[in-house]
Chain A
Amino acid sequence: MKKRILILSMAITILLAFSTPYVFAEPADYHVGCVFAVTGSASWLGEPERNTAEMIAKEINAAGGINGHKLVLHIEDTQGDNTRAVNAVKKLIKKDNVCAIIGPSRSGTSMAVLPVIAESHIPLISCAGAEVIVTPVEERKWVFKVPQKDSDAVKRIYDDMAAKGIKDIAIITGTTGFGAAGRDQLKEIAAEYKINIVADETYGPADTDMTAQLLKIKNAGAKALVNWSIVPAQSIVPQNMQQLKMTIPLYQSHGFGNIKYAEAAGEAGNGIIFPGGRLLAVDTVPEDNPQKKVLVSYKEDYEKNFHEPVSTFGGHAYDSLWILVNALKKVGDDPAKLRDEIENTHFVGTAGVFNFSPTDHCGLNKDAFEMLMVKDGKFVVLKD
């Protein structure tokens, strides 16, 4: 009897393993891959991105798809982990036969998947901030990105410092892809603004205490501090500063663009200044701004659907998916044609007005930023 049950259960297991559970999608569907850090330390980036992508796909399919083709999203969670991202991209290309990929969420994961993309000739629109993802453009033929450039973010920060007469600054950066790229830009552009970096500290992705680095910064006599990272550890820096009674102004990168980071920093987060997209301060954008309509409609849709404040990162998914959908509308799902079409796209998105070209795979300039400040747990536009 026992043996029979054993054989039966084994047979069922094998049957389950070899039958395919869902009916094969019709060939007419457009398959698009999404690689986001939905969970893990960068979940405050990936989660709004996934939500946004699903929301848009639903909307498009409800309206009859793209020229009648249904849009099928294959969403993979990288957990913010580079190796998982590489595996996810390989899986999307080999198993799901996607025609294009949007994401990954983080600069490190984006850099990690570049060789796979270059080899398989599938267009990728990254949602990560570092400029090295798309430069030099000759080597990044298949890669685009929608967030603003980190060099532009640095320039906006240095503009603000110059206006306030700050010369001696300290920088503290994460050692992950985004942080490392930001550190390079901060050091390179400093000379242009005659800014002196008196202390250059870093912290690891899992660090929970930056007191040691901040003490060195305090002793170096810096007049302002730039903190460049995208993981929640960035919200510990203001807390440690408060603990050490450091009162110099704190600047953050555009990787601070989710209100949850400000919430995690608590009252220590008050007064943080950072360059951010207009999406975070929609109310203050004048009516005649070309972005206004897009910003208002996305913000309303997102907040109605998910009951949480909109973030920069969800906006990146919005921009990348719509750019791709527009291209799909025009040329269909041939990867090579899609790539050529994206390269000549003009698009008004949440991050700014995009003008892609064969020499610019980012398409935004520094006007895409506003300088924002944290005030009582909210983002407000910093008036000059």
Chain B
Amino acid sequence: MKGKNSAGFFALVISIIAIPFIITNDYYIGVLVFAAFNCLACIGLCLLMGYAGQISIGHGAFVAIGAYTSGILTSKLAWSPWLAMLCGVLIVIVVAFSLGIPALRLKGHYLAMATLGFASIVHIVAVAAVDLTGGPSGIVNIPRLDLFGYVLNSDTQYYYFSWSVVALAVFIAFNLVNSRVGRGLQAIHGSEDAASSLGINITSYKVQIFILSAVFSSISGSLYAYYMNYIDPGPFGVMHSVLLVTMVAVGGLHNIWGALIGAIALSLLPEFLSFLSDYLQVLGIHYQPDYDTLVYGSILLIIMLFLPEGIFDGLASTLRGSKSFYGKLAGRRTGRVQ
């Protein structure tokens, strides 16, 4: 990591540490824990979408596989949560590998539909395989996670733990982006033909990054299961996969910070809207949580139409624009020619 990114990383760590001192209500800390799970999945998805240029509307399925593997192994077979999480990761690697090899030969719309179809299948299995997954009733009594024998009981403890995982993921992602693999990926995004003529093994790169992003999602699913202590198919529908793509796209596809910002912003949006609903009530508008979907959709559409690079890049380029504008002004005043 270098320059701006390490400064950003430092800022991230500081805010992670500081926030529980400012926000003390357990409920809001809980909301931030959920945001951490989404961040984790979105970092992986951003590597795939932004850096390798491959769309996946199926990452909710990997979250589901991670969550269900953890849930089933810990609650029915009394495995240790860590071992179950590892097992979830291994299963996801196998699934992502066997899905990725044929799927990543497809492009654009086909890949999108294939991954969407995959996500639907996983959801259907979660609902229908009653003996394994508990069906619509789900799995209760999933244990909490322990850290060196110390059980993470409170929301604040879980907050620190899950955000540390996010920080670690950010660190890994940046190292990856600046490695040989990362440059290869960007080459693929630019032009696959050119990249392959330079001797980059496209398929292998794409499959590797697909697997890595799936693993991020799987871990996020496992952490979710240990935090909620309960899972059912409800949150793992196709809509969840779409939401993850939305978060990455809104924040900015081509930048990990963008994905992070998108994930945090959209995870906190329902809370913000419910805050706002009390004000809107005063204005005579009866806001209901039902409208959340509509707000999500509208934000996504507006961003895609007017800021296709996402909030992060959009703001950054606006900032750069104004900077160079002021720079030019300053330059003219002092008589220098730029």
Contacts and interface: CB of A to CB of B under 8 A. Distances in A.
B235 A83 contact: yes
A82 B322 contact: no
Contacts of A358: none
B275 interface: yes
A205 B126 CA distance: 12
A95 B232 contact: no
Given A83-B230, A84-B234, A204-B127, A176 B137 contact: yes
A16 B27 contact: no
B25 A77 contact: no
Majority SS of interface residues in chain B?
Answer: helix
> A82, A95, A114, A205 — which one has the most chain B CB atoms within 10 A of its CB?
A82
A70 B278 CA distance: 21
A181 to B, nearest CB: 9
B138 A205 contact: no
B140 A112 contact: yes
Interface in A64-112: 77, 81-84, 86, 90-91, 94-95, 108, 111-112
A39 B289 CA distance: 11
A90 B141 CA distance: 15
B103 to A, nearest CB: 26
Contacts of A90: 27, 30
B102 to A, nearest CB: 29
Contact of A95 (B27, B279, B289): B27
Contacts of B128: 175, 204
Nearest to A119: B229
B135 interface: yes
Given A16-B279, A17-B275, A91-B27, A175 B130 contact: yes
B140 A17 contact: no
Contacts of B272: 17
Nearest to B135: A175
Contacts, number: 79
B141 A115 contact: yes
B193 interface: no
A180 B279 CA distance: 43
Contacts of A82: 136-138, 230, 232, 234
Nearest to B271: A17
A176 B30 CA distance: 28
B7 to A, nearest CB: 22
Given A82-B232, A94-B30, A95-B27, A114 B127 contact: no
Give the interface size bracket for B toward A: 20 to 34
A177 B235 contact: no
B26 interface: yes
B234 A16 contact: no
B26 A94 contact: yes
B136 A108 contact: yes
B278 to A, nearest CB: 4
Contacts of B127: 175, 204-206
B135 A180 contact: yes
Contacts of B30: 90, 94
Interface in A112-131: 112, 114-115
B221 to A, nearest CB: 13
B27 A21 contact: no
Contacts of B232: 81-83, 108, 112
Interface in B118-155: 127-128, 130, 135-138, 140-141
Interface in B303-324: 322
B276 interface: yes
A16 B275 contact: yes
Interface string B21-36: 0000111001000000
A24 interface: no
Interface string A274-287: 00000000000000
A302 B272 CA distance: 35
Given A39-B290, A95-B25, A83 B278 contact: no
Interface string A201-234: 0101110000000000000000000000000000
Contacts of A115: 140-141, 229-230
Interface string B222-235: 00000011111011
Given A17-B275, A82-B136, 17 more contacts: A16-B279, A17-B272, A77-B289, A82-B137, A83-B234, A84-B234, A94-B25, A94-B26, A94-B30, A108-B136, A115-B140, A115-B230, A175-B135, A175-B136, A177-B137, A180-B130, A204-B127
15 contacts: A17-B272, A21-B275, A21-B282, A83-B228, A91-B27, A94-B27, A95-B26, A108-B138, A108-B232, A115-B230, A175-B127, A175-B135, A177-B136, A204-B135, A206-B127
Give the 9 A-B residue pairs with the shortest CB-CB distance, closest first.
Answer: A21-B278, A95-B27, A82-B232, A81-B234, A94-B27, A176-B136, A175-B135, A94-B26, A83-B234
Interface of A: 3, 16-17, 21-22, 39, 77, 81-84, 86, 90-91, 94-95, 108, 111-112, 114-115, 175-177, 180, 202, 204-206
